Amino acid sequence: MSAARIGIVVAGVVAGVVALAVATQAFAEKTTEEFANGTNRPRTIALLPVKSTVTRAHIVETEGLVNDSVRFGGEFNARVQAALAAKGYKVVVIDTDKMNADPKLQEYVVETQRGFDDMMSKYKPKNMSKHMYKVGDSGRLLAQYLHVDGLAFSTLNITITPMGKAIFTGVFGGTTSGANANLEIVDGKTGELEAWFFGVAIVGPGDKTDADLSAYAATLADRSTNRVPGADPSARIEVASSDDEAIEEAAKALKR
| Residue 127 clears pLDDT 80, i.e. is over it | yes
H or E stretch at 64: strand 62-64
Interatomic CA distance for residues 150 and 78, integer angstroms: 18
Interatomic CA distance for residues 110 and 29, integer angstroms: 26
Of 68-72, 119-123, 241-245, minimum mean pLDDT range: 241-245
| Residue 54 clears pLDDT 60, i.e. is over it | yes
Residues 151-191 pLDDT 10s: 999 999 998 887 544 433 433 334 457 899 999 999 999 99
Radius of gyration of the chain (CA): 19
Q: Please list, residue by residue across 133-162, b when 16 or more beta carbons sit within 10 angstroms of its beta carbon and e when fewer do.
A: bbbeebbbbbbeebebbbbbbbbbbbbbbb
Number of domains in the chain: 1
User: Which residues constitute the domain of residue 180?
Assistant: 3-255
Res 56: pLDDT: 78
Residues 194-238 pLDDT 10s: 999 999 988 888 888 899 999 999 999 999 999 999 999 888 776
